[in-house]
Structure 1
């Protein structure tokens, strides 16, 4: 007997859920509540947009019906506040990073359709480019925190120096990963900073769909806070007295 696989997606991907082999999470919940699934060849897999709470509920419902084979997934381990730098867990878009080699890492993209970048509306069936950009940003934060800054006694401030994004093909609410490669890494003992140049590839169905190249630096939080405070005051004075700034620069 062949197995029929169906991807579960968040309700905001309603248009995509009209495709064969795809189902909105609310529809699956209703079906499980009514115990309407009796085929032993069905297997549900996670697409994108399903919250951690809904994943847990689906697993509990399938177990209570004594049909655990229906849910071909487990509760994912998402990056938390320390790694993704998000106060609300539904805004975290990635799993905890995994190390593949000395300078390459991997994360799963785990979108919750309540996240800030998707909170307004969705257009079409694909995932918007800015969502992928934010997932990549969270990836360099998480990899840095987990593997490069974990021994630091201070909290770190991240400064993006450059970011280049190339969108190669549409990405849909299906499983995807981000391959993270460190191209260059320098440490300054004097300023206690670290500089990185990295390449992040969004991969779906074994195809590279988006490439994000970025250069960023990390500094002790206190150092940047002091510098930022001085620049903020300077910016205010510049707006209040533009003629003085012009004279100084002349």
Structure 2
């Protein structure tokens, strides 16, 4: 069972399929997972497996750790392509997120001005004005929308607490194109035997219509790459991902595929 927990505020760099040489930034507790989703495909496992005892990372801890690592990378390499907010759950859940974004942009400009700053978010806090403003500052505002079928979202992404799909979509539109949509396509079944194939037109065509409305500057489609908490999930095939990508491209939206 997948149990990747990042113990430090700064981790990596790792090679990202979508972003290149990526230095990771974890804003959540070092001993567990904090997320407004409990996805059955999350590399960090289920929320209930990793209840943290520690608090979220502080602004000061992140800034100091990040600067120390950037100084080291400046001296010894490798040079990062991107500084990526990811880690043990939803980064925008950290109450210091807006301030940490400002610090990160300043450090990026000081040490690696050619690097991009990316945030991987599940979109659940984008209606908070301070989160919305912070996301608008970064180079790659990467927001998740796996489908526009609420039953599928409840089965696979499993939101914790209130989740209003229409509200999320309106929040995505509010970025006026200054966002990247990230969508997971997969096949197989849940551990309980429910089908999770979202590669068919039943799911793809309504999702595509919303992509046209949101008009992101890019769509990233991808499939499972790491161990998952549910054991019977399967990768979408190259052919299935290519078919979906062709539909996105035909709609006039730039698209990337990670197999």
TM-score relative to the length of structure 1: 0.29
**Larger Cα Rg: Structure 1 or Structure 2?**
1
Query: As a proportion of its length, which structure holds more strand?
Result: 1
